[in-house]
Amino acid sequence: MKDQLEKIKSEALKQIEGSDALEKLNDIRVAYLGKKGELTKVLKSMKDVAPEDRPKVGQMVNEAREAIEAKLEETKARLARKAREEQMKAEVIDVTLPAVKNHVGHSHPNTIALEEVERIFVGMGYEVVEGPEVEYDEYNFTKLNIPANHPAKDEQDTFYINKDIVLRTQTSPVQARIMEQGKLPIRMIAPGRVFRSDEVDATHSPSFHQVEGLVIDKHITFADLKGTLAQFAKEMFGEDTKVKFRPHHFPFTEPSAEVDVSCFKCGGTGCRFCKGSGWIEILGCGMVHPHVLEMCGIDPEEYTGFAFGVGLERIALLKYEIDDMRLLYENDIRFLKQF
C-alpha cells in the first residue's frame, strides 16, 4: 500500500510539473483527488488493510493528498501569472471598459464539514462506506431493533414508497449491511443523505445528512467509545474541548447516551451560543445492542461494538456559527461565498 501511494503521489506530481495549462491541472485534480480518483480508490480499499495498519495508511493518504494539493496550488499560481504576463504583452487594455467578473465556485459548507469529519476518522483507521438512499424497511427498522409498532415507523415521520420500501431515515442501514457481510473486525463511518417527514424551519428539513460510525471487534467497551468521541471533538472543535455523556435511549444501542461538547466560544462559562449552559449537544451514541448483532449474524458473546451518529448540518452550523439551517439549501450566493 505504501508503494502504491508513493507511485500515485509521484505520478501526480510529475503530471502537475509537466502541465502547461490551467485546464490540465483541473483534469489532474479530478483524476487523483476526485470522487473516482486514485486516492479515493485507496480510501475505499481500506477494508482490505489490516486493522492495526489502517491509522498509518490513513495518515499516508492524508500526506499524499496534502502534497498533491500544495503542488496543484503552486503550479496554478505560476501558470496564472505566466498567462497574465502573456496576455499583457499581447493585448492593449482599454481601462475605461467595465471588467468582466469571473465567478468561480468552491466547496459547500456541508462538503467542507464532511471532508473534515472523514479526514479525522480515516486518520483513526476507519473506512468510508456508502449505501442506498432508497432502503428496505427491514434494514432501516427491523434489523436495528425497531419493531413494527414503533413510533418512528409512522408515516408522519417516515417517507414510505410502499409497505416494504422507504426513503432511509438514517444511515444506520449501511451498518447493518456491512455487519451482514461477516468481515470482522469493522471500523467504518457511513455518511449520506437521509429523509424524514419534517416541516422546514431553522433547525429541520425533510432532507438532510448524517454521518454514522460503527466499530465491531472483540473486547470493545464503552471506554473505547468515549475515547474515540473525545478525540473527534478535540480535532473538530479545538484541543481544549471536553465531552459529557448523558443517559438516553436508542433501540439499536444499550446502553445509549447523548453527547455534549464544551462550548468552544466561551470555553464552558456560558454564552449566547450555548444558551448559557456551557455545553452544546452534538450526537447520539451507545454500545451496539446484542439483538442487533444476532440479527446480523454476529455472536454477541464473542464480539461487542459501539455506534454513533451525528448530523452533518449540525456540525456545519456549529463550526461556522450559522443560525438557520435553511441558509445551507437556498443557494444564496451572498451567503455561500463567505466560505
Which pLDDT does position 156 carry in this prediction? 65
Per-residue pLDDT tens digits for 153-188: 776 688 999 989 999 999 999 999 999 998 999 999
Q: How far apart are CA 136 and CA 160, in angstroms?
A: 10
Q: How far is CA 124 from its chain centroid?
A: 14
Q: Which residue has the cell 493518504?
A: 61
Q: How far is CA 87 from its chain centroid?
A: 42
Mean pLDDT of all residues in the chain?
87
- Whether the per-residue pLDDT at 258 is higher than 80: the answer is yes
- Whether the per-residue pLDDT at 115 is higher than 80: the answer is yes
Pick left, alpha or beta for residue 215 (phi over 0 → left; psi -120 to 50 → alpha; otherwise beta).
beta
Q: What share of the chain is helix, strand, coil (3-state, %, to 5)?
A: 45, 20, 35
Which pLDDT does position 1 carry in this prediction? 63
Which pLDDT does position 136 carry in this prediction? 94
Q: Which of 307, 303, 210 is nearest to 259 (CA)?
A: 307
Which pLDDT does position 203 carry in this prediction? 79
Q: Which residue has the cell 416541516?
A: 199
Per-residue pLDDT tens digits for 314-337: 888 888 888 888 888 888 888 888
- Whether the per-residue pLDDT at 263 is higher than 70: the answer is yes
CB 120 within 8 A of CB 331: no
Counting DSSP H helices and E strands in the chain, the numbers are 11, 10
CB 201 within 8 A of CB 238: no
Per-residue pLDDT tens digits for 90-106: 877 677 878 788 877 78
